[in-house]
C-alpha cells in the first residue's frame, strides 16, 4: 500500500521558537516534516548565506528531534525574478538558486519548489518569458549536478497557473530534475483549469502537492490565494485526494497556511491536521508514521 508523508509549511507555526522546538512541535502536531521557507524577505533570504556553523546547528536540531525537511519553498524569486529585464536582477536570481541548491545539499533537502513566475512586479513581455526559460535551463543544470530536484509550483499568476503549462515548460527544458509541484488551491482558483484532467494528464511529473484553500478568479474578482480558512474556499479536497489516491501518487503533501495574524497558531494548525486526517481516512490514504527514536 502507498503511504504519503504530510508536512506543514513553516509559516503556519508560531514564530520565535528555536529550531529544535519547531521540529518537536511539528511531530507533536502529527506532521511528518517541515517545509522550509526562503521567501523574498531579507530575513529569510539571509538563510542562503548561512555559515557552516549555522548549517551544522540546524542539522543538529533536525537529527536530535529525528526530523527532516522534504521541501524548500523558494519564493524569493518574486522579488528577484529569473525573467527580469534588469541583467543584475537576473544574475541575482541565478545566484540565489546556486545558494539554495548548496543549502539544500547541506541540510538534506530533496526538493526545491520554484515559483512559476517569469516576473512578478514588472510588466510581462515576450522577452521576460524568454529570459525565464533561458535561466530555468541554467537552474536545472545547476540542480542536476547536485542531484537536487526543482519543481515548478502552479501559481497565483497567469504565467504558470496550470500543470499543463508546467509540462509545456518541461518540454523546453528537458530534464528528470525538473518536475511539477501543484497547489490544489491555485489550480482550483483559475476557472480555465479542469482540475481533475490537469492532475490525471500530468501525474507522471508531480513530486509534491500543496494543500491550500482559495477563492476563485472571476470577471470582477482577482481571486483570493492566501489566508482562506480551510472550508471557506472552493477547493474540493476530497475529490482531489481521491484522484491522487486512484493514480497511485507516491509523493508528499504539505498543508500550506499562514497564521501570523492568528492569536493561536497552534490551534489553527491542529484544526487543519484534524480535517486532513479525516479526509485521508475517508479517501483511504495512509499517512507515513511519525518518526520516533532512530527513525527518519
Beta carbons of 61 and 107 less than 8 angstroms apart: no
Of the listed ranges 9-13, 20-24, 185-189, 288-292, the one predicted with least confidence: 288-292
**Residue 291 vs residue 171, higher pLDDT:** 171
The C-alpha cell at 285 is 490514504
Q: How large is the average pLDDT for residues 142-160? A: 98
Tens digits of per-residue pLDDT, 56-109? Answer: 999 999 999 999 999 999 999 999 999 999 999 999 999 999 999 999 999 999
Q: What is the pLDDT of residue 292?
A: 61
pLDDT at 294 over 70: no
pLDDT at 296 over 50: no
pLDDT at 203 over 70: yes
Domain boundaries, the chain: 1-285
Query: Whose CA is closest to 211, among 179, 180, 188?
Result: 188
Q: How large is the average pLDDT for residues 146-151? A: 98
Q: How large is the average pLDDT for residues 228-235? A: 97
CATH number of 1-285: 3.20.20.150
Give kind and range of the element (H or E) at residue 210. Answer: strand 208-211
Displacement of CA 207 from its chain's centroid (Å): 10
Q: What is the pLDDT of residue 249?
A: 98
How high does pLDDT run on average in the chain? 96
Beta carbons of 192 and 163 less than 8 angstroms apart: no
Beta carbons of 42 and 80 less than 8 angstroms apart: no
Based on the number of CB atoms within 10 Å of its own CB, is 59 exposed (0-12), middle (13-18) or buried (19 or more)? Answer: middle
Please count the residues of the chain.
296
pLDDT at 295 over 60: no
pLDDT at 293 over 90: no
Phi, psi of 294 (to 5 degrees): 75, 10
Amino acid at each position: 500500500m502507498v503511504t504519503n508523508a504530510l508536512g506543514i509549511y513553516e509559516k503556519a507555526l508560531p514564530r520565535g521558537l528555536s529550531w529544535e522546538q519547531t521540529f518537536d512541535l511539528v511531530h507533536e502536531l502529527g506532521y511528518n516534516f517541515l517545509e522550509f521557507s526562503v521567501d523574498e524577505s531579507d530575513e529569510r533570504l539571509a538563510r542562503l548565506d548561512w555559515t557552516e556553523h549555522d548549517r551544522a546547528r540546524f542539522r543538529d536540531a533536525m537529527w536530535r528531534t529525528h526530523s527532516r525537511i522534504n521541501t524548500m519553498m523558494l519564493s524569493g524569486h518574486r522579488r528577484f525574478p529569473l525573467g527580469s529585464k534588469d541583467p543584475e536582477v537576473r544574475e541575482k536570481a541565478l545566484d540565489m538558486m546556486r545558494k539554495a541548491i548548496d543549502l539544500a545539499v547541506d541540510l538534506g533537502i530533496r526538493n526545491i519548489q520554484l515559483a512559476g513566475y517569469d516576473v512578478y512586479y514588472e510588466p510581462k513581455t515576450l522577452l521576460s518569458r524568454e529570459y525565464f526559460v533561458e535561466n530555468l535551463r541554467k537552474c536545472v543544470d545547476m540542480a542536476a549536478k547536485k542531484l537536487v530536484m526543482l519543481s515548478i509550483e502552479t501559481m497565483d499568476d497567469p504565467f504558470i497557473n496550470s500543470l499543463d503549462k508546467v509540462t509545456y515548460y518541461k518540454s523546453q527544458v528537458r530534464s528528470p530534475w525538473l518536475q511539477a509541484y501543484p497547489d490544489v488551491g491555485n489550480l482550483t482558483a483559475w476557472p480555465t483549469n479542469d482540475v481533475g484532467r490537469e492532475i490525471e494528464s500530468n501525474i507522471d511529473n508531480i513530486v509534491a502537492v500543496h494543500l491550500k484553500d482559495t477563492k476563485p478568479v472571476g470577471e470582477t474578482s482577482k481571486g483570493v490565494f492566501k489566508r482562506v480558512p480551510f472550508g471557506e474556499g472552493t477547493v474540493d479536497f476530497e475529490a482531489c485526494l481521491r484522484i491522487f489516491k486512484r493514480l497511485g501518487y507516491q509523493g508528499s503533501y504539505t498543508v500550506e497556511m499562514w497564521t501570523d495574524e492568528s492569536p493561536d497558531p497552534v490551534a489553527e494548525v491542529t484544526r487543519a491536521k484534524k480535517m486532513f486526517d479525516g479526509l485521508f481516512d475517508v479517501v483511504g490514504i495512509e499517512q507515513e508514521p511519525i518518526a520516533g527514536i532512530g527513525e527518519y
